Amino acid sequence: QVQLVESGGGLVQPGGSLRLSCAASGFRLDHYAIGWFRQAPGKEREGVACIGSSDVVRRYSDSVKGRFAISRDNAKRTVYLQMNNLKPEDTAVYYCAADMVLRADWSNSEAWSDYWGQGTQVTVSS
């Protein structure tokens, strides 16, 4: 069964950190680029970060650049999103997605057609 499962979300104070995990099963993770997206209530889903299948390419949205870091461990079939210096505006449901092709418009959720996870809630609040 093909699955992407996110974990690691929770409640954190502003300035705090969280590490999200995206665990893959049922397909060869090392053949896929992975993207992290988030969606806040009433807002469109937005791309946060992505990583190519060979870990050569990493991209970030301007809103998280310098605070978030994406990485992957293909042996563990897991992609991570380290989030530091979190802000209230980072509050959202975070999703990971997989596609065999990392497209130039990676931050567009419609560019990710293969697999999606169910999401994990991140809440940044004092």
Burial 41-55 (b: 16+ CB within 10 A, else e): eeeebbbbbbbbbee
Instruction: Check whether 55 has a pLDDT greater than 90.
Output: no
Q: What is the mean pLDDT of residues 6-26?
A: 97
Q: What is the mean pLDDT of the chain?
A: 96
| Rounded percentage of the chain residues whose pLDDT exceeds 70 | 100
Return the bridge partners of 80, or none: 21, 71
Which residues have a Cβ under 8 Å from the Cβ of 108 and sit 6 or more positions away? Answer: 47
- Tokens in use for 89? 């505006």
Helices (runs of H) and strands (runs of E) counted in the chain: 0, 11
> pLDDT tens digits, residue range 83-118?
999 999 999 999 999 999 999 999 999 889 889 999
3-state secondary structure of 29: helix
Tell me: pLDDT of 19 over 90. Answer: yes
d(CA 53, CA 98): 10
Residue from 2, 18, 21 nearest 96 by CA: 21
Residues of the chain with pLDDT > 90: what percent?
91
